[in-house]
Amino acid sequence: MNVRKIITFTEDIHTEGGRPVDPPARTAVVLAVIENPWAGQGFVEDLLPGIDEVAPKLGGLLAPRVVAALGAPVEAYGKAAIVGLDGEIEHGSALIHTLKFGDHFRTAAKATTLLPAVEKRAAAGTVFDIPLKHITDATIRSHHQSIEARVPDGPRADEIVIGLAAAAQGRPQSRLAPLATEQ
């Protein structure tokens, strides 16, 4: 696994809808810009060797970083794969849609639900939104949110940006009725 760089950022929302948010609503994102393990090989029929080589290392690298950056228990989480223009969307999906990657974050977050995801092929600097859902119950509406991310110089054509995002709470000032009220 060839990592070019890792970007970590947090966001603390202190006011929403003109009202204070106390404590501030915190989210964290960690993005790794890596060399696409299938770059320059043409169409690769069997992605499993690359998955086995890269996904566990990547999950082990990113999961503890995003939890540490959040600095609080994780209540919502999500993942992303943005593939450079010379790759296939399947290359990003192969790395993030495997337990070899995701179980690192599930374990670190003490989570039980599937990680919501975004994956796409895009040029360097593309803005993307990482969806977040509650770590144990994906129907909890207050935790349906997203966080915007961007790597100004990535992914390059032969790279993939892999990201994990976490929130310490639901949306600030959330007030939608529980899903059960509509069933």
40 versus 135: the higher-pLDDT residue is 135
Residues 128 and 76: their CA atoms lie apart, in Å, by 18
Residues 96 and 161: their CA atoms lie apart, in Å, by 11
**What is the model's pTM?**
0.95
Q: What is the reported pLDDT for 140?
A: 93
Q: What is the mean pLDDT of residues 123-150?
A: 96
pLDDT tens by residue, 38-79: 998 989 999 999 999 999 999 999 999 999 999 999 999 999
Q: What is the reported pLDDT for 17?
A: 94
Q: What is the reported pLDDT for 103?
A: 97
Query: What domains appear along the chain, each with residue ranges and CATH number?
Result: 3-182 (3.30.1330.110)
- How many Cα atoms within 13 Å fall on the side-chain side of residue 172? 18
